[in-house]
Chains A and B, each alone.
Chain A
Amino acid sequence: MTYARLVGEEIANRAEGPLLFLSRSLDVGLNEAVEVEGADGSVRLGRIAALDRESITVEMLDDTAGLALQGTRVRFFGEPLRFHVGPGLLGRVFNGIGKPLDGGPPLAAEHAYRVDGLPIKPTAREAPSEFLETGFTSIDLMNSLVRGQKLPLFSGGGLPHDRIAVDIACNARLPGGAGEEEQFAIVFAGIGIPHDSAEFFREEMEKSGALARTVLFLNLASDSSAQRLLAPRFALTAAEYLAFVEGMHVLVILTDLTNYCEALREVSASRGEVPSRKGYPGYMYSDLATLYERAGRIRGRPGSVTQVPILTMPNDDITHPIPDLTGYITEGQIVLDRDLHRRDIYPPIRLLPSLSRLMKDGIGKGRTHADHPALAAQLYASYSQAQQTRVLAGVVGEDGLSENDRKLLLFGDDFEQKVIHQGVDARTLEESMAAGWSALRGLPAGELHRLDDRQIREHLLDRVPRREPVS
């Protein structure tokens, strides 16, 4: 935090919910940061939300309980909220507004960045195209993640999204990218998470030795909701610094965005704004975009920011505004499934609604494997058919099915047990592809319309029907 430029005393006139109204005795601008020091000595952070000729409206970012009008000092910074960062960021733990929680020394403040970030010009972006291996077949083979992408996990209460996030953080690597290890960093932002989740993540990262290349931002469930809105912004500011100044490849894990949106709704309601769907503010799309769009690469700079935000779908409803708006901004989604989880399939990823939009740019010849796109497309087509056949079998019974349909049913089970399910072991892409080919062997080759003859011959033995001679 920079030094305050101006100080106002005895200027507070009215406090209402998170809003504090001040007399305008000083020349300050919109969106600038303020610190309000109450008579009780506690310091609260705020932001100038509106201005007219007589008054300043400050939106408090901390809990306002206990704030009095008398004896309150307001310090103005003359600039929007900034995060001061410098070397030594890795391995540290901060709260949601960038204050160290680990008892360590303050950061060397070499750079000060606006926590809101700035939109990257589309022309300055480098289109993401480097395949990033996560160790999960359902992601690597079926919904590949590339560097600079934002790919959220749509989860639900009680599903193992924390575990998956940790596994991705520990196993993620560029295939064949030796010497990249030290260039890889993780920024983890816990947004309104219970203390247990925060501890779980910290412990797991420590166990795998990844903590030294991780920055943690923890906004716990007990912290104020206005701070909840800042936690991902501080985390992303740190990530941008690591990526675009120190040149690292940064994986940002944000959990749980649902808490963020709840806080957004709370703050909006207290401002008296007109609510939109389900009481969430009408600008929620734009607001979420200012977080998610901070993923990416910048042309001519070495690093990248890849985001894996996690959200829990209220009542497992994918059409709820939070997953819905997120899906419209992010480059795909990975959806977790309660049914698969109950059947002990790990990771319980429901493939049909899952998608990676940037997959096409990161896979195939020269990037992963020439047959990767066709294999993924065929597995998707067949698995989708298998799902439909399951519905059919549920009605008419398995005996009423044709032989092809029965093969599809078997394929569906096989695919879930051997391709999606992989337990605790990370797989390389080669292993994932081998598992995929092996699952397809149970199907009649004539049904595999997404594969060409050579692919069928090479990977599924010599079983392609011979071409009819033209008479």
Chain B
Amino acid sequence: MSTAETTWISGPVLRARPDGPFRLRESVTVGEQALLGEVIRIAREEITVQLYEDTSGLRPGIEVTGSGRLLSIRVGPAILSGIFDGLLRPVGDTRDPYVKPGMQPQAARRFRFTPSVRVGDPVLPGAPIGQVSNGTGIEQRCLVPPDLPGGRITAIADAGEYPDDQPICWIEAHDGRRVTVAMTHDWPVRVPRPVTARLPSDDPMLTGQRVIDCLFPVARGGTGAIPGGFGTGKTVLLETVAKWCNADVIVYVGCGERGNEMAGLLAEFTELEDPRSGRPLLERTVVIANTSNMPVSAREASIYTGITVAEYFRDQGMNVTLMADSTSRWAEALREVSGRLGELPGEAGYPAYLSSRLADFYERAARVRTLGGEIGSVTLLGAVSPPSGDFSEPVTTHTKRYVGSLWGLDARRAQARFYPAIHPLQSYSLVAGNLARWWHASGCTRWEELRRRFLTLLEDEARLERMARIIGRDAMPARQRLVLICAQLVNECFLRQSAFSVNDRYASPARQAVMMRLIGSFIEGSERLLDAGVAPEAIRDQPVFRRLMRMGEEIEDGDWEAFSALDQELTATIRRLINETRE
């Protein structure tokens, strides 16, 4: 391994004179504290290193040691339900409450291994060789690392507990090399893990949030972005999705965000149960926390660390969802480091390669056939924090070019405490058409029709609200006043969903479908009433309207009787009003 002698240092960047070869993006350690860094520029006489830690006290002359590997993380069974910094070093040990330089990677732990192959079996790279249990409900697989050659198994450990860094399988490769496999392996964070094939995606990644699942859905293996100014509820929305979405594993990357929020998330995830397995949510979660006051360059790496972890679980045939909060902080870290290197700035001071970096990131989302032959997926959801809430800034505009679903958060909705503050006219989903089949198969046969209906209604509402501002609401024709009332129902009862209401924080697809149908019946019924000559205000003042408005809060998931009672009440009200006008 090569070494180099530090000649210049300022902030998180140092230059050193090498006495051997270094590679670009090679990870290095600096000084006795073994501070972690990465080579970001090389010349014959000088290498430039970006350090991932506080550099106080470093001085010229200190030795830089190359590792011979690209910046890598160690993936393995110990990751699940853990909490790490941006370089996958555990921060769960709270005997010292502060983050200090020179933190060490995860120490070896023991796990129960059960082989699924025998001596003599042929194996391919990326193929599973056994089950690993970490004591939670989730069974993990032990894989042959994707960068090892295929071959035949010459020896394999019996079922039992082993340290996760010790060899448990010995392979004689086709080229005659002998290699060993442990439960963990290293993988360079900036290199996507290989797959057999990318597959189309027709299944929704369900979030339990009506406005997302029904109006702007995201597919498994798809991408979504949440742009919104401060206080519009990005973090709460991402956390809510992390809690209730139907993924097998959640990777939550807190990238340059608040410490108290991460603490709140950890506390909540320990208490809350996964609605599907009944186990604590934390068991299926990996948290990567690089809060805003932790070193900036590690913030840049944390996004790649997160996606590599997600791909590792995907390769075991799982559906993984990664939340990145916030990609803007990551872009700013890119800008900061680029500035220190004296690179020519592009738009708004961001480096010119911002767009391609964002593209690389979102391209790593996919539904795939893994090397081991299974189906897995990584869904990526990124929050974007545009400065001054202005969606025309570079990170938002570039992100929009690469994502399949966009959930634009609206400051006015947030100010009225209307959450999630997703603005229906500033959001889109490119995959809604593909997902209709899934909803049909799940019994919601009018999904597309009602979705279209709601969206048209919301669009009409925006137009009519503008008109109302000129001529006054009372001066509008009855039909238009009715549109406003129906839109109010869609907004207040369907789109608004409190993340803190026990009944409403999660809506199963069946409950979403029922609510969609009830609102549809109200819209159709009220139109018939209007034709019969009933004033829109009279319809709104019916007690059933208030019941409909509050059904999300009042009727819990699975209480289908209450829903059908409400349905009957609605039908009865409509019939009565029609009869009254006839008389």
Q: Identify which of A175-183, A194-202, A275-283 touches chain B.
A: A275-283
Q: Are B296 and A286 in contact (CB under 8 A)?
A: yes
Q: Are A293 and B291 in contact (CB under 8 A)?
A: yes
Q: Are A452 and B550 in contact (CB under 8 A)?
A: yes
> A298 interface residue, CB < 8 Å from B?
yes
Give bound CA distance, A320 to B388, whole Å: 7
Q: Are A31 and B56 in contact (CB under 8 A)?
A: yes
Interface residues of B in 307-358 (CB under 8 A from A): 329, 332, 335-336, 339, 345, 348-349
Give bound CA distance, A137 to B266, whole Å: 31
Contacts of A392 in B (CB 8 A): 468-469, 472-473
> A210 interface residue, CB < 8 Å from B?
no
Q: Are A353 and B415 in contact (CB under 8 A)?
A: yes
Closest residue to B415 on the A side, CB-wise?
A: A352
Q: Are A127 and B385 in contact (CB under 8 A)?
A: no
Known: A127-B260, A127-B267. A24 touches B230 (CB 8 A): no
How far in angstroms is the closest Cβ of chain A from B93? Answer: 8
Q: Are A465 and B546 in contact (CB under 8 A)?
A: yes
Contacts of B349 in A (CB 8 A): 274-277, 282
Contacts of B389 in A (CB 8 A): 319
Q: Are A128 and B260 in contact (CB under 8 A)?
A: yes
How big is chain B's contact interface, by range? 35 or more
Contacts of B550 in A (CB 8 A): 449, 452
Closest residue to A379 on the B side, CB-wise?
A: B417
Contacts of B569 in A (CB 8 A): 468, 470
Give bound CA distance, A273 to B342, whole Å: 9
Contacts of B231 in A (CB 8 A): 327, 332-333, 353, 355, 357
How far in angstroms is the closest Cβ of chain A from B475? Answer: 7
Contacts of B471 in A (CB 8 A): 396, 400
Q: Are B91 and A121 in contact (CB under 8 A)?
A: yes
> B146 interface residue, CB < 8 Å from A?
no
Closest residue to A328 on the B side, CB-wise?
A: B230
How big is chain A's contact interface, by range? 35 or more
Give bound CA distance, A97 to B11, whole Å: 22
Known: A31-B57, A329-B258, A361-B264. A121 touches B329 (CB 8 A): no
User: Which of A29, A149, A331 is close to B59, meaning CB atoms less than 8 Å apart?
Assistant: A29
Q: Are A290 and B293 in contact (CB under 8 A)?
A: yes
Known: A122-B91, A296-B260. A30 touches B9 (CB 8 A): yes
Give bound CA distance, A468 to B411, whole Å: 37
Q: Are B472 and A401 in contact (CB under 8 A)?
A: yes
Closest residue to A395 on the B side, CB-wise?
A: B469
Chain A 129-161 interface mask (CB, 8 Å, partner B; 1/0): 000000000000000000011000000000000
Contacts of A149 in B (CB 8 A): 260
Interface residues of A in 281-328 (CB under 8 A from B): 282-283, 285-286, 289-290, 292-296, 298-301, 318-321, 324-325, 327-328
Chain B 236-262 interface mask (CB, 8 Å, partner A; 1/0): 000000000000000000101011111
Contacts of A290 in B (CB 8 A): 293
Give bound CA distance, A275 to B339, whole Å: 9
Q: Identify which of A45-53, A99-107, A166-174, A222-230 touches chain B.
A: A45-53
Q: Are A285 and B332 in contact (CB under 8 A)?
A: yes
Give bound CA distance, A376 to B9, whole Å: 53
> A124 interface residue, CB < 8 Å from B?
yes
Contacts of A331 in B (CB 8 A): 258, 260-261
Q: Are A51 and B9 in contact (CB under 8 A)?
A: yes
Give bound CA distance, A23 to B57, whole Å: 18
> A39 interface residue, CB < 8 Å from B?
no
Q: Are B259 and A405 in contact (CB under 8 A)?
A: no
- Which residues on A are within 8 Å of B, measured CB to CB? 24, 27-32, 49-53, 57, 79-80, 118-128, 148-149, 273-277, 282-283, 285-286, 289-290, 292-296, 298-301, 318-321, 324-325, 327-329, 331-333, 352-353, 355, 357-358, 360-361, 373, 376-377, 380-381, 384-385, 391-392, 395-396, 400-402, 405, 446, 449, 452, 465-468, 470-471
Q: List 24 A-B contacts (CB under 8 A).
A: A29-B59, A49-B10, A51-B8, A51-B9, A80-B56, A118-B99, A121-B99, A122-B262, A127-B260, A127-B267, A148-B260, A277-B349, A286-B256, A289-B291, A324-B387, A325-B387, A327-B230, A327-B231, A361-B264, A384-B416, A402-B473, A446-B545, A449-B550, A465-B543
